[in-house]
Chain A
């Protein structure tokens, strides 16, 4: 069975600095998708970034980028120029190629220090 592990329950970073959140996963599939979701205090889950496993290029969305290491089964999220609005829970998620269900990590709470 697939699993997703986020080993950092909490991270903190100074405003304007860069932080990396780690995520590892376990799977025997070759076709899959990986996601980072953000859940701010307002509760709503918002997609931050997605990565298709068949793409070698790391996904980037403005200040958010991933370091996708397929062989190591690692999918870390880098946030550059951290802003106060980035404070949230961040969840890593995995979906197999033909599966309806996302497998979720336990989440990392990101604190931004002004």
Chain B
């Protein structure tokens, strides 16, 4: 019974295309995140939503647009894909920090390859 699930796990596409990655969590968490992990394994926060409200919006190209239809889902849509977008994208969730350690629970990652 997967706690944080992402689809698809692998995505190969051409430059210029538009693609989406979906994420769902069944942990009852309030907060969800998108991270990008580059080829050197460095983790970079992209977005975070708390109860469908955007709370972290780091400096990423506006080709990246998150959407949270409800607090259990956070999807990532990428327009006009570029070579530099190739990476592993991780979805994660946590309880709100107050009264908890705020540890993250991660999905398995979605490896995006742009040709």
Contacts and interface: CB of A to CB of B under 8 A. Distances in A.
Task: Say if A and B assemble together.
Answer: yes
B113 to A, nearest CB: 14
Contacts, number: 61
Interface stretch (A13-21, A39-47, A60-68, A69-77): A39-47
A52 interface: yes
Contacts of A109: 41
A35 B48 CA distance: 19
A100 B101 contact: no
B88 A43 contact: yes
Contacts of A100: 31, 48, 50, 55-56, 94, 96-97, 102
Interface of B: 31, 40-43, 45, 48, 50, 55-56, 88, 90, 92, 94, 96-98, 101-109, 111
Interface of A: 33, 35, 37, 39, 42-47, 50, 52, 89, 91, 95, 97-102, 104, 106-107, 109
